[in-house]
């Protein structure tokens, strides 16, 4: 409980008045004794009223608060939280509200003031913007209650327990259903190359059409129907994709609001969405994190929800990626041939360790190494050079990129596929490579 500005103002006025009267008496100025009595009487009356007002405020019950919020939020996107208030106050009451929001959530329109009217339910709305993924718990809401005479304000903590999960930006994934996959992918910059040859999996029989090749003719069906019947093929739909996601220190780099790790998660979920719609199975394994997580490849739209729940609270560590251990764990778990996508940030010191690990995996699986490139390097390389510091920064960036490119060339020389891309372009580039390989039937 603390005094309000009204009480402090009255106290200042009356104390000032008594100080002036006391000063006048000390200077032997003529001041009526009744004025002294009135001034001290007003001060004592104010103190008595303040004590009574404080006692009544202590007995005033706190309002009942309910919090309504989404059970899940998307990283970087705003979401609304509703606070509803119920009370038994006989008179309108204006209260000051502050909801205790966990760290990692940005807040807008908080704190607020709201008027509680008798017999009515009041509500206020504020917005949250998650700044990191994970599980967040809300424990209480703070309400500042005024006293009956407005001389005091009580700080009450109302227990309102709620929780929410912050996922990667999955709203973009589900929003794609409204646009159509092909249109959506083209907007993201995904390029679908023309198909060469026939599909790999039989789909159905149909009448022979102009443009069909003679190899498509099913001669037995043609003899039965006495009209040319062609076989129609489609891309093989029973393939498997496994993401090997680096959770180590190199993924902690940040371009803008999102870290490289968050970009990597969004890209993995984007490709998972596309692959699941193509009828393929998608799985995940992590390495260099607090603990290794593994999700076996499964087909079906429900797998996307399992992926989201498996990665929403993943975070990076300061550990160095051990590619050999990661390869051993993957080969022990994934027996069937799959497209293994290693998402990491390659450096020149990774040459021997990475090459050995990826070669082991490639004996059984098709491997794609997706290496994230810091966007600041491209900016330094393209920026004009006018000063010594700018020249040093330019030279350092070019030297680093050249060393990085040499590593990629060495991997390519061993027959390994490398995707060198910026974090923001990773999703579209992965989908482009996946669709191209799927249409060509190379995995």
For domain 64-167, the CATH architecture is: Sandwich (2.60)
Predicted confidence at residue 164, as pLDDT, reads 94
**E strand or H helix that includes residue 18:** helix 5-26
Mean pLDDT of all residues in the chain?
84
Question: Running DSSP on this structure, what letter comes out for residue 176?
Answer: H
**Where in the chain are the domains?**
2-59, 64-167, 171-176+182-193+236-440, 201-234
Burial class (CB in 10 A: 0-12, 13-18, 19+), 223: exposed
Q: What is the mean pLDDT of residues 102-131?
A: 91
What string of DSSP letters covers 170-202? THHHHHHHHH-HHHHHHHHT---PPP-S--SEE
Q: What is the mean pLDDT of residues 189-212?
A: 63
- Identify which of 299, 308, 339 has the alpha carbon closest to the alpha carbon of residue 434: 339
Rounded mean pLDDT, 373-383: 76
User: What is 57-119 written as a DSSP string?
Assistant: HHHSPPPEEEEE--SEEETT--EEEEEEEE---SS-EEEEEEE-PPTTEEEES-SEEEEEPTT
Q: What pLDDT, on a 0 to 100 scale, did the predictor assign at position 268? A: 92
Q: Indicate whether 195 pLDDT > 50.
A: no
Q: Which of 146-150, 256-260, 335-339 has the highest mean pLDDT?
A: 335-339
Q: How far apart are CA 188 and CA 417, in angstroms?
A: 23
Cα dihedral across residues 2, 8, 14, 20: positive or negative = positive
Question: What is the percent of the chain where pLDDT is above 70?
Answer: 88
C-alpha R_g of the chain: 34
Task: Please tell me the distance from the alpha carbon of residue 136 to that of residue 305, in angstroms, as a whole number.
Answer: 19
Q: Is the pLDDT at 26 greater than 80, yes or no?
A: no
Q: Band the pLDDT of 99: cuts 50, 70, 90.
A: very high
Mean pLDDT of 403-421: 85
Query: What span, in angstroms and rounded, lies between the C-alpha atoms of 148 and 122?
Result: 20
C-beta separation of 298 from 310 below 8 A? no
Secondary structure of residue 180 in the 3-state scheme: coil
- Give the model's pLDDT for residue 10: 84
Instruction: Measure the CA dihedral 279/311/256/137, to 10°.
Output: 140
Binning pLDDT at 50, 70 and 90, where does residue 178 land? very low
Residue 177, pLDDT above cutoff 50: no
365 token code pair = 């699986």
Please report where in the chains the tokens 């339910």 appear, as a residue.
121
Dihedrals φ, ψ of 77, to 5°?
Answer: -110, 145
Which pair of structure tokens corresponds to residue 8? Answer: 């402090």
**pLDDT > 50? residue 415:** yes
At 202, give phi and psi (nearest 5°).
-65, 135
> Is 0.95 surpassed by the pTM of this model?
no
CB 137 within 8 A of CB 118: no
> CB-based contacts of 239: which residues, under 8 Å, 6+ apart?
280, 281, 338, 339, 438, 443
Percent residues over pLDDT 90 in the chain: 32
What is the pLDDT, as a whole number, of residue 298? 93
Q: Give the mean model confidence (pLDDT) for residues 140-148.
A: 91
Domain 171-176+182-193+236-440 belongs in CATH node 3.30.70.1230:
no
Mapping DSSP onto H, E and C, the string for 347-399 reads CHHHHHHHHHHHHHHHCCCEEEEEEECCHHHHHHHHCCCCCHHHHHHHHHHHH
The CA distance from 138 to 118, in Å, is: 28
Alpha helices (H) in 194-259, listed in sequence order: 219-225
Q: Are 116 and 87 in contact (CB under 8 A)?
A: yes
pLDDT on residue 169:
78
Domains 64-167 and 171-176+182-193+236-440 share a fold: no
Res 196: pLDDT: 41
Asked if the peptide bond before residue 111 counts as cis, ω within 30 degrees of 0, the response is yes
Sign of CA dihedral 313, 318, 320, 325: negative
Q: Are 242 and 263 a contacting pair, CB within 8 Å?
A: no
Identify the three-state secondary structure at position 416.
coil
pLDDT in tens, 280-310: 999 999 999 888 899 999 998 899 889 989 9
Contact 144, 114 (CB under 8 A): no
DSSP at 3: E
Euclidean distance between the first and final Cα of the chain, in Å? 70
**d(Cα 397, Cα 399) in Å, to the nearest integer?**
5
Question: How sure is the predictor about 385, in pLDDT bands with cuts at 50, 70 and 90?
Answer: confident
172 pLDDT more than 70? no
């Amino acid at each position: 409980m603390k005094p309000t500005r009204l009480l402090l103002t009255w106290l200042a006025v009356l104390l000032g008045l008594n100080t002036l009267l006391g000063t006048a008496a000390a200077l032997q100025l003529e001041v009526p004794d009744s004025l002294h009595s009135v001034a001290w009487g007003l001060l004592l009356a104010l103190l008595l009223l303040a004590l009574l007002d404080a006692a009544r405020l202590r007995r005033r019950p706190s309002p009942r608060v309910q919090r309504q919020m989404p059970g899940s939020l998307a990283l970087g996107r705003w979401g609304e939280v509703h606070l509803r208030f119920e009370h038994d106050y006989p008179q309108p009451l204006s209260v000051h509200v502050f909801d205790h929001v966990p760290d990692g959530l940005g807040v807008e329109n908080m704190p607020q003031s709201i008027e509680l009217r008798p017999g009515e339910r009041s509500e206020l709305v504020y917005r949250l913007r998650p700044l990191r993924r994970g599980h967040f718990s809300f424990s209480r809401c703070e309400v500042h209650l005024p006293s009956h005479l407005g001389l005091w304000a009580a700080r009450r903590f109302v227990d309102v327990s709620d929780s929410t999960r912050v996922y990667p930006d999955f709203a973009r994934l589900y929003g794609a259903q409204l646009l159509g996959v092909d249109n959506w992918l083209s907007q993201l910059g995904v390029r679908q190359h023309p198909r060469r040859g026939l599909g790999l999996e039989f789909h159905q029989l149909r009448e022979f059409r102009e443009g069909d090749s003679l190899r498509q003719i099913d001669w037995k069906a043609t003899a039965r129907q006495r009209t040319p019947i062609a076989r129609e093929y489609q891309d093989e739909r029973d393939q498997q994709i496994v993401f090997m996601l680096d959770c180590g220190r190199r993924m902690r780099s940040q371009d803008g609001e999102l870290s490289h790790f968050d970009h990597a998660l969004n890209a993995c979920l984007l490709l998972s969405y596309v692959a699941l719609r193509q009828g393929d199975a998608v799985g995940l394994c992590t390495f260099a994190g607090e603990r290794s997580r593994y999700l076996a490849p499964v087909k079906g739209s429900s797998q996307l929800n399992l992926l989201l729940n498996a990665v929403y609270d993943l975070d990076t560590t300061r550990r160095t990626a051990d590619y050999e251990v990661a390869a051993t764990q993957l080969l022990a778990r994934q027996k069937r041939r799959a497209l293994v996508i290693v998402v990491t940030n390659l450096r020149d010191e990774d040459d021997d360790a990475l090459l050995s690990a990826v070669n082991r995996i490639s004996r059984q699986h098709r491997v794609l190494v997706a290496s994230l490139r810091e966007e600041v390097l491209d900016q330094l390389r393209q920026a004009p050079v006018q000063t010594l510091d700018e020249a040093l920064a330019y030279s350092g960036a070019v030297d680093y990129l050249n060393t990085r490119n040499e590593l990629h060339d060495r991997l390519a020389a061993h027959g390994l596929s490398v995707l060198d891309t910026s974090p923001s372009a990773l999703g579209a580039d992965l989908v482009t490579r996946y669709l191209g390989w799927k249409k060509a039937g190379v995995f």
